[in-house]
Each structure stands twice: as structure tokens, then as C-alpha cells.
Structure 1
Amino acid sequence: MSIDKSPSSSLAGITAEPPLLSPNLGSDETRVRAPSFGPLQHRLRKLSTRLSRSSRSDSSCSIQSLSAADIKGALGLNLLHAPSEPAIDFVFIHGLGGGSRKTWSHSADIGMFWPRDWLPNEAGFKHVRIHSFGYNSDWTTRKDSRLTVHDFGQALLADLHNSPCLRKNGDTPVVFISHSMGGLVAKKAYLIATRDPNYVTIGKRIHTMLFLGTPHRGADSASVARLVRQSAGYGSKAFLDDLIPGSGTLDQINDEFRHICHNINLWSFFESLPTSFGPTSSLIVEKESAVLGLPREHVQYLEADHRQMCKFDSPSNPNYLTLQRAFQTIVEEIGTVTLVQSQQEHKSKMRKIAAFLCIDQRPDAVLLAINEKQHLGSCTWLTDSDRFQKWIDGPIGHWADKESLLEPSRDLEFKLLWLNGRPGTGKTIAAGHVIRHLQSRNLDCSFFFFRHEETSSSTLAFLMRSLAFQIADSNFEVRQALASMAEDNRTLKFEDHYLLWATLFNECIFKAKFDRPQFWVIDAIDECSSEDLPGLISMLSHMEQTLPIRVLVTSRPGGQVRRYLTLERTDFVEIITGEEGSLRDIEVFVEAMFLQTYDADQYDGIQNLVADVLTKADGNFLWTSLTVARLENAYSVEDKQDGLRQIPPQMDELYSRTLDLISQSPSAELAECVLKWAICSPKSLHINELAEAVKLDVGKTLAANGRELESMTGYLIVVDVSIWDLNTSVCVGNFEKDNFNYVYATSQVLDMVFNPIAEVELLAISYMDGDVVTCNPWTQDQANKYHLQTLLSALSTSSDGRVLVGAAEDGGIYLFLFETLQPIYHIQLPGDQLRIRDIAFSADNLRFYDIRGQCCNVWEPIILLSKEEYDDDSLEISCSREEAALPEIKASRSHVYQWGESITAIEPANDMLLVGRQDGTIDVSDLTTGEMVEKLRIHDAFAEIKSLDWNEDTLRLMP
């Protein structure tokens, strides 16, 4: 059953098939308005709402330029990774001519520094703190150097002794991982530590030494001689003399070390491939020199030359895996002794904290039950998405370094990630997957699942106590602070979330020094009581931005959650379930289940059945899993079709819960009326027709938009988007872009705009996957497509139909030729300004305007002045349309207008600029001066102006 639209209404169709399983597969409540010119578009643009404050940027692992000093790495001891509970310290020491970063990186690209970027994520490394040590062993400088291996070893010891983090945890075992000459430095440091009273404590902590191609008996004499000769023109280097076979330094280190190393675990790896020197090649360090030949020494070769035995192109590199397994063995051997000792104290503290907070344990049992429901391989679309990666790998964290830092204003919104979707689309399963993903990367993750059936534990106060308990469980400083509060007999008001927030978090947890991010995953926040929900969102919104806390929340879309996020002006990123990624999960699940049941010769029939299930499911994973289980026991085509038409009885609880929520709403009578008309109507209704029916039925005036209708009815109806002819009230058709392989859904539309020239007959559409597409609105044929690595959340066009401009989620602006989608201009993010809310051309097409928060920019790119120079023929691009690079040019801004309240929409009108605001007012400003001429209030207070349209012919404004 469906509801069509009248010409004067919003163009939203409402459908009521089996609840939550609407066949309107292209539906999406987050479609955006379409700013444009022309009567058809004037109506069409009113159907949608802007995607709130969402953001997307290039992948966090994109290559960025580094200076020569950054590539080589800093001198001294550098902290690379600091877990909350360090139990072991790894120290990486480079060799001759190397650097604290360069030696351990396959290339200068971000993400290739494996001790920092890969090792912390490995299993068993949750409690391993990682450092690198740099010293000046560059033999190519022209200055003389009197530094020797002894000096380097002494510097290493001094840095370890003076390290604040090593002093803080004064008993953690130290493991040296050394390449080439770095092994000699490590051995010399240990020798000094055994004799110098200042470093005896450090010496006792040295547990293991792992050598990579270390010339214990000197390097190849020819190679050393070559280096000495080459360095003669650059300046003498004392440390080169120490490498010559038979030198007094080598003999002394080896002789002394073998007498005192009986308490040290030794690992020696030697090279098996020669190193090239122009036309010749040879082993730099022979096996006889790389192996000590001492008791307790582990010996193994690496399939690499001397340079590459410490550089790896990927975590799957066999040599990296060999070392990684050796590291795991070392960690396990140390852990059996040291971790047992610390676990006793840990358990004692946590027992006190549990009693203090009245918390029994972590919610691990709930997580285990949720993860058992996850199908193998599902939910990876979420953790692989750019938005999730930006959230998890943002600059607020222990791995953040200056080459990956972005402007703070662009990063704030990535601290809160909102995963929302309709009931049954797998939000809780996705939350469980995120928790397991964070734990697999050895990250500190606290989590909580709101449950409507567990009212006593689904309160904001219980959430706070649970989070505090989990943070203390993983963080030494927080654990000590909370245990101290418990020992001081502090009392807590367990159900007063305001006092709990002030006492536990503001006064205790937030004052701790976090060396790494803290991740919170809170599922189903809309199941939190209506009294607590405003407080929860307010607290999440007002946490200090300097706190390294990143939060993921899940809920149904819209409703009170979106309302409170808007009222708090909360910056957040939004990801929606039930779309392409999760639909692919459903497809994989259904195919896997059916292939287990049917033979290979039934493949075609299976595919048809899969398509039927997917079409009916419309993204509802709960219905899919229950229906597939029923179909396994159906052995005829008719029985299978009958099974598809039925609603599994196990879904009654979900529907009952939805109806209970509707009945408790202040709009219960109105929602019941809307549902009755949606279900019983024999044809599609327009929203205007629905409003008339509601008025006649219950005497109430329906004023809800499409998104509000969905929320009010518990998402039992769907508001759809189509292309309509407003003169005849006939649906022209539905458009789906090419190369979309899933017939049961369409990629989410962000914005669309018609070409104002009627003869052109083009509609431009921007999608959530980064595609920009043009199509013929009458035939629904796709014309052109261009793919960006960001999203265009707002589109606009010049009045002559020549230029299409898009406002990107990363703050940039992209210009295209409308008819061909050829890129012609790219304006980068101007300074530290926020993302663009709207964009529009001036009447003369020589400039355009964008709004960012309280700021309006006026842009005058020179490309708008010269039409002939940038026609279609002059814009030949050699690469494919998918890979074409936009010209990046910084445009000059002629004016920047400032207003006092958040601006949500703009529209030019001759020599005036119409500005819609979040509080529902509309400013009429003079374009030449920027001064406000008139302030209009058409809607009630706090009714946000989402779009504006000025009709030049009728001189009418449509807000």
C-alpha cells in the first residue's frame, strides 16, 4: 500500500508493505535538497533534507610529503607507541648511516614505519611499549666525528635512564632490536650498565637482544675498506674504525659480553642475499660474523640482503612475519613471569573499584552473544570505510605525528561517529564488530549496550559506572585514582548521572594523562530513557576537545537523537546501515546459506531465490535470517514463495516494541491515523492527500515532513523520492545509476540539481559513494559520471547551465562543465573554516557563495570570466574519467561576510542575498555591502530553514 504526492506537497511517497520491509528500495530519509532554477526543480527540491554535519575526507593513510629530517627520524629515544598498561619495552636501534625512522621503513610513505604502524596491532602486543633510538652515524658528512660505538651506547643508556615513561613503570623488561652496527651499540650499552652505578637499574631490566645482521666480528673487510675510502673526502669517522674486522673495539666488546650475557636472551638473524654495489654484489655481514655462537642464542636467516632485512613492503612480507613470530615468542616468555606478578595487584584494585561503583563485571557476556550472531565476513564495509578509518586513525592519539595532523576544526567532528539505521538492519551486530575490531588492534575500548527489556541497567547512570569500570580496567592511572577514591570511603549516588559525571569523569578520569585514544562504543542510545537521553547527548557534546576520546553511538535514524544533536550543535559523522555495504553483507549471507542446501546444478534457481529474498528484505537483516531459516525447510517452489510472503513470528517482539513506543508518544493518535491510511489506501497517496485525510479523520493538521513521518510511525512507513511532473501529477520515473549491481537498493543520494536550460534536459546527482552523475530526467538514461575521493553534499549551477559547482564534505569546492562533467576547477579548503552547508551562484554567474557555520564566502574564480577558453574541446583529459585529476587552484575571495547565527541555506535574488538560519529566520542582505536590509520570520522559532528558492518570474520566495 502506498501514498502518492499531490502537486503542491512534498514529493515524498509513503509505503506500507509488511512493516519495516517496504519495497521502495530507493528510499532514503537522508536525501538532500536540490538547489536549482526552474519550476520542476523548484518543487522537487522541497522533498528532502540536508545530511547533517556529516563529513568525509581522503583516506587517513594517504601519502603525504615529509622533510628529509622526518624521513630519517629524530635523534635520541623516541616513543612510538604507549599502551595503557605497558609491561614490556621494545627499543629499535638502527645501524650505520641509518635513522630512527628510515631504517625501519620500506619507503617514506605514511604507514610504512612498521614498528609504529604495524607492530602495535599484532596479537599479543597489547602491553608492549615501543621506542626507537637515533644516533648520528652518518659517514657521508664532511665534518669529522670523534664519536665511537662506546659514545653511542652511553647515549642510549642515558636516554633510557632519563625517559619519563620508563621511570613511571620502573620494572618493565627491555628488549633491544638492533640492525647492523646498532647491535654493537646495544651490547656496549649493556656492558656500561653492568659497571656504571648510575645505570645498574637499567642494566637489570635488559631482558633480550635481537640482532639483525650485526657484525659482531666486523663487516666484510672489502666493504668496510670501501666505506673508509669513500668517507675520506667527507671527514674522518671514529665509529667506522670500530667496524674493521679484528679491531680492538670489536674484540673487547665480544670478549667482555660473552662473560656477562648469561642472563640475556639472544636472537641473531643473518642475511642470505648479497647487497648490490653497482655492477658487483656481496654479503655485507657474513653468517660467521652475524652469529655470536653463545648459549641460549636463537639463530635464523632472513631471505633478504643487508639493507632490506629490516624493511618490509607489507605486513604479509615473509621476513616481517618471521620477525613478528620471534617477537611474539619473546613477549610470551617475558609475560609468563612479569604479567603474573602485576595481575595480582590488578585484580585486587578492580575488586575495590567494582564494589565502589556497584558494578559486577564488564559487559563481555553481552558482546559474546552479539558476536555469535555475526556472519563471517560481514560488517567489514563499516570498518573499511573512509569515515570509520578517519574516526579511528585521527590525529588525537599516540600515533599522531606532524605529518598526519590536520586542521583542528576539520577533525573535531570525527570524534563522534553516529551509526544509524532502520530497525532490524544490524546496528547492534555492527557495534559488536566495531568493538572486536578495536580490540584486535590492541586499542582501549569501553562499550555499553542499552536494552529496552532491562530498564534497571539501561540508564545513563549505569552507563557511566560501566564505562568508568572498563576504563579503570585498561588504564593504570585511572585504576589507581578510582581505587584511591574507594579506599577513602567516598560515597556515590548511583542513580544521579550529573554527580557521577562530575565525580567520576570530570574530577578523576579526565584528569588522567592518556597516551593513547580511548574509544567508547554505545549501542542503541535511543533505548535510553527519554529523561536521560538529553543528558547523554549533552555530556558527549560538551567533552573537552583536547580529551583523546572517540565515541561511536548507534540508534534509529532521526527522532529525538537527531533533534538533541542539532540542539547541542554537536559535530558528528554519520554512517547509515541498510545501504550498499550492509546489503552486500545480506547478499553474501543468503547465498552462503542457500549454497549449503542446494546442488551446483540448481545455481540459476538459487540466484533467483536470492534476488527475491534481497528484494523483500530491503536491508532488514533480522527478517532475512529468520526467513532463510524457514526456507531451508521448504521443498517446493510454492512453499518457498509462500514463505517469502509471510512475516516470521519471531519478529512480533520487534513490531510490538515499535507499537509500544508509538503509543507512548505525544503524537500517538496522529501516528495511528497515518498508519491506518497508509495501510488501507488502495493507491499511492500524496503527502497533501494524507494531510487532508488526517484532517477529516481526527481533525488534526499534519505538519510533519517525510523524515518526521517516518520517525513518528516508528519507521513502519517509508518516504520515497521519484521524479514527478507537477503539471500532471504523474511520476516520470525512477533513476538508478549505471554499474550498480544490487537491484534491491540504490546508492544514497546527497543532492541533485536540474540544468536550468530546458533544451539541455540534464539532471546532476551526487551520491554517497563519491560519484557525480548526470542523466536525462525524462528517459532516465545516464549521460556522464565522475568519481571523487570525497562527497559533494551540495550542488548548484550557473543560470546559463554551463557550470556545475559542488560543495565537498572535506571543505573544498569542485567546478565541472555541466553537460560533460569535465572537471575545470578545484578550490581547496580555505584555512580553518568549517564544512559547507550550501552553495549558490550570483545572478550574473561571475561569482558564487558558500556558507560555513557563521561565515559566507564570496568566490570569484577567473575561470567564470572566460567561457571560450574553457569550452569542452579545450578540456581533453588523457586519463580515464574515473581517475582524472582536478586542477587545484587557489581562488581569490573578494568578500567574507560574517553573521551571528548558524546559516543553513542561501539563495541569490537579483542584488540581494537571502540567508536562511537555524533559528527559522531569513535575512535579506545587500550583496554590495553585506548589510542586512530585512529580517523575516515565516516559520515558528527553531524551525530550521533547510532550503530557499527565489522565483524571479513570480517574485516569490519558497523557504
Structure 2
Amino acid sequence: MDWAQRWLLAFLASVAATVYWLLAARARSAAKSRRQSQVAQDHRPDHSVPERTEDQTRKRLTIVYPEQTRDAADDAEVDSIVAVHGLGLDADWSWICKDGEKHINWLRDPDMLPAQVPKARIIVYRYESTWHVDAPKTRLQLCGEELVHSLHAFRAGRPSRPLVFVGHSLGGNVIVQAFLYANDDSKYESLVKTTVGLVFLGTPFRGSKWQPLADALAQLMGPACSHRGITRELGFDEPALRDRVHRFCKLRNKLSTAVACFSELHETDYGRRLGIAGVVKGMVVDEKSACIPGLDRYALDKDHLKINKYYGPTDPAFERVSEVISEMCRRANDVVRRRFERREIITGNHAALKYNPKAEACLHDLFVTDALEDKKALKRKKGDRAAGTCEWILGTDDLTAWLGPSHNQNSEIHTTQVLWLHGNPGTGKSTLAIFLTDALSTGFSATDGNTLAYFFCDSAFDTRRTATSVVRGLLLQLIQQHPSLLSYVLPKYNERKAKLFESFDTLWTIFVSAAADRNTGRKYCIIDALDECDDESQRTLLRQLQKTFYSSNAPPNIRILVTSRPCPEIRKYLEIFTHKDLASFSYVKRDINQCIKERVTQLKYTDKIKGRLTEIIKDKAEGTFLWVGIACSELENTPSRDATSCLEAMPSGLHALYETLFSAALEKEREKGTIRLVLGFVAVSQRPLNLLELSEACRLRRNEDDTETHAQFMR
């Protein structure tokens, strides 16, 4: 913002403040007259007690539909559609469209929202959002907390009924804050689990470029008892707002909660209210702030003040908004039931065989490896994930966009359908992939529109390092969860039998057709450690990914996430899609620190030594979890007096550490022959050897006659 814009902003703020101040003074004068009149009435001889006004008896939550009867509440399929108004507005008038003498409230009018969701209770929430005159000393967090407290009390006795929220402008921010607050307190956990839909109408998730004007007004109107508690939190793209959006997306993606963001298409003319039409005019909440990448978004032919007001059932904006709300309500009970049941994703053939008993041979031949068992084995190999780590990925823009619908027009390329997460060895790629498969499995189990399949590549196993194995593994999981997809496989299988699954091109065609099936919803596929596949398989898969998804004809309901090292041959194909180096995420450093904390805590040293070791490891790990693991393993058998010097002698970075450990091993005369033998086989083998193969090739046996020891050693 240049000096001219700042000057104009200050001038407009002073003008607006003056007008508001005069209006406030007049309102105060009128209020004083009413109080004096009331005092006179109170001192009449009959000492009658005046009736309490409607304002004094209002509650935070008011049912506007249906009639407030117990039977109506019990019949409601959706416990509440809760509407939350915006900044400086009133719950009674926020949702009303004035058409001449007519006042149309789309939340209450029997021909509008009640007609679309007749089995729902529609409620308005009122909170103190005034900021310019007689403003309460509040802030966004307090508004969100109060919404949670009010709903918790309001829903007593019906905690498992579904909820849908509708927020206009700041009301959406209040809903987000409430959502996060409820999630942090187990007392209010049911509010989060029963929230099945969130509708945001012009919500400034990333703030507003008009915030400086509102904040300046609040400061200038101090004499009128204004307050900046809310306005100062809405600066455009403020770090605090970005963090809140990240936390919200992390929770939303974990639960797969339906979210719809509506943005305004027209500028808002605030000057008209002050008699200076066209002077104070602009986009209050632009699309960038009103919409979160990856979540459903819609544009309405409205300005900011009218985006939540509709003239009747035929208003195009109402038709779109009510359609979204109706769909959320239609799925509400099923979503809540699934969340509380916590069902696991199907990984066996029983459902498919029940659907078609004749498919047994086909499923048998399609099977190549058990993805669930592979994941469990990888977990055992890598150990438990440090508490709280990896969870940040759920809140990133990149993953949210990958999880969400494609907003590209048909003529454009869909670059978010493939997400490539890459990193150097030991940076936590597979651990992150494991976390995602676990987290998304839980979230998807509560929906009927998302399906997850995954494959963990491993160069040590023939069944996990080829292109055909990857596609067979993914296809089998899709069929296990949706037996109807057998229709894409069985006709061809009946013709070619097991040979069908030897052709990558045929397999890929079947896989894409099955995954694109619209009747079974969107499919999400995670391929971990693609660089573990053989070179030809890598090229084959990458060429098909590029050909299929870097196209205007890409099937819109398929998503592929790939993790690998940043190999040039992989980058060549995947850099055209959304891609991120794990090291570029600031959250990775926090994960590293948490991992160090847990590993060092397990060492048997004094707190003083542990503190020093922690500092050294943080300095030398260079963002590599594997370095932390190797270093701590070396320390497990190191006396406390040598711990610090041992760690200080280790070089920084993974490659240098490998060289040091290798050199140290060669210094042991008794081991030189064995090491040379192992290196010889590693150097000439056409593919990486697993431990069993290597030990057998080198005849590394502790006791030729002890079969138990031999078997244990080879494991």
C-alpha cells in the first residue's frame, strides 16, 4: 500500500468515524431519554414492575424452524443447522433480504431452507460482534469458545445428533475457532465428531485487505467505546490466520468433514450508507481469502453484504447454497454413525467373494503382496513414530488441494491430482506415508465417497519392486473395498486368465477405468518409495502417470501421491505436477526435535549429559531422522564418560556418518575379510540384495551345526 492509498484510507476512516460517532451520540441520547422515562415509570405510586424487553430475555441460540416443540426436536434428523452472523451485525437481520415492504428470512421462510431440509432444526446464534460503538472487550477466540459452551449446553441429552454450520463473514471465523477449541478439549469431542458440514459465506480465512480501514475506525472511535479486539485479528494474510487455517485443514482432512466455501463476485459499496456512494467501495473478502485450496468452492453473484441474503426460492445464490446444505444433511446420519463406529477399511477378499463367488480365481491371480502386512512390517522395522510428528502434513495447502476436488476447467491441465513428496535418504518419507495411510483410512471410513489404496515399494522383494506389482496391489485394494469394480476385470480375465496380470499396459488401462468409476467415488492412491523399483519399472510408471494425468482428459476422481528420493529420472516426469521437498516444510524441524527428545530420553545418562547430547544431535543431524537413529544406537552401549566425545567425533550428515562407520569397521582386522566379501556381492549384483540373500551368498553363519542359530542369524 503506497502513501497515497494510506492517506486516502486515513481520510476515509476519519470521515466514517465522525459519522459513526455522531450516530452513536444520537443513539446514546435517545437511550438516555428512554432510561429517564423508565425511571419515571418506576417511581409511579403503584410501584408496578416493568416487563423485561425482548433483548433482555434472548438466548444465545434461537430456534427459527420448526416451531419450538419437544416433538419437533425429537423428530429432527439433523439436530441443528447453526447460522452464525458476521462482524458488527445482528442475528435477527443478518439473514433477511429486504424487498420493498417484504422481509424474507431464508432460514425461516417455509418455502426456502425449511422446504429443502424439513427434518432439521434451524438455529441462529447471537454473539457480541459490535466493534465500532459500545463494543464489548472481546476477541475471536472468546467468541469461538462461547459458541462451543452454548451449543454444549443446548444439546444436552442429544450429543450424537449431526450438526451443520453456516457462517457469514466473521461468523465463519468464529465457527473455525469453535471447531478447533472443541477438538482440544475432550469434554466437547462430540461437537467435532457430529459436525458433518461447514458452509462459509464470504469468510475471511486469510483476513481482509479492508482490515486497516476497520481497525483505523475502531481506533478513531475510542470516545464511542469502540474496541479493536476483533478487527486487529483480521489483517490480510497475517501469520496467525495462516496458522489457524493450517490447524483447521489438519482437523478437517483428518475427519473428511464436508466444507463449502462461497465467495462474492461484486464489490461492496459501504460509502452508500454514508451518503458518499462509490467512494468507499471494493472487494471486502476476495476469492483468495474466502476459499481454501482443495475444498469445495463456489462463486455467488453477490457482494459481501448480500452474500447471505436471498430474495426467494428462485434466487440462484439460494439454490446453490441450499443444494449444498441439503446434501450435507442427506449424508449426516451415516457420517456420524461411521465416525463413532470407527470401522476399518476392508483389506480382504470376503466382500468381493460374497458379491461374486466366481471371482475367487481372478482375485487369487491378481494378488501379489499384502499391502497391510507390508505396512506393519515397515512399522516394525522403523519403530514407533515420535508422538505428534507427521500430523502437520494434514494441514498443508498441498495435501488439502490433493484431497479436494479439481477446480480446473475441462480445457486445463489438472496438476494437483498427482502430488510428489521427495526428500533425501533418512528424511522420514516412508514414516510420513505410513502416517497418511493410517490417518486417511480413519477419515475415509466415515464417508461413502472416498477410497484409499497404497503400496510400499521395496527393492529387497521381487513382489514390491516392479510396475506391474504396484498396479496389481492398488487395483486389488480398490476391488476389495468396492466389489462392483470386478466388472472391469472379470471379462478380460475370463479370456486371458493369469496372463492378463503380466501386461502392464493392460493392467494400467483396467486400473484407470476402475479407479475412475464415478459410482464408487473418488480414489486416493499412495505409492511410497518409488525409487525402490527397478529402473525400467520406474520409467514405465512415470510415463503413464504423466500421460494419464498431465492431460485435459485426466479422470477427475483419481489422486496419486508418490514419495521418493529426488532422483533426476523421477523429477523429469513429476516436476510438472505439484511437488514438495520435505525439507522445505518448517514442521519437519519440529518433528526432528521431537524425535531427538524421545530417543535421548531413552538413553541411560544423567539429565545434564542428555541435555548436552540433545544439543549436539540437533546441530549434526541436518534434518535426517536416520542420522538421529544411528547416533543414538551408537550411544546405547557407550559409557556416560565417553558419550559426549563419541557424539562429537561423529561427522555431520548421513553420508559422512556412513563413511566414518565404514572406516571404523575396516579397522577391525577380524572383520576385513567378511566386509570385502559382502562388498563384492553388493558391487556385482544386478539388484539390491536383502539380508537373507546376502547372508546366504556370503555363507555368514555363526554355527554350521546349529540350525536355530543359523535361522536366527539369517533373519
- Is the pair's TM-score, using the shorter chain for normalization, greater than 0.5? no
Please state which structure has a larger fraction of its residues in strand. Answer: 1
Q: Structure with the greater relative contact order (CA < 8 A, sep ≥ 6): 1 or 2?
A: 1
Greater helix proportion: 2
- The normalised TM-score by structure 1 is 0.34
Query: TM-score, normalising length from structure 2?
Result: 0.45
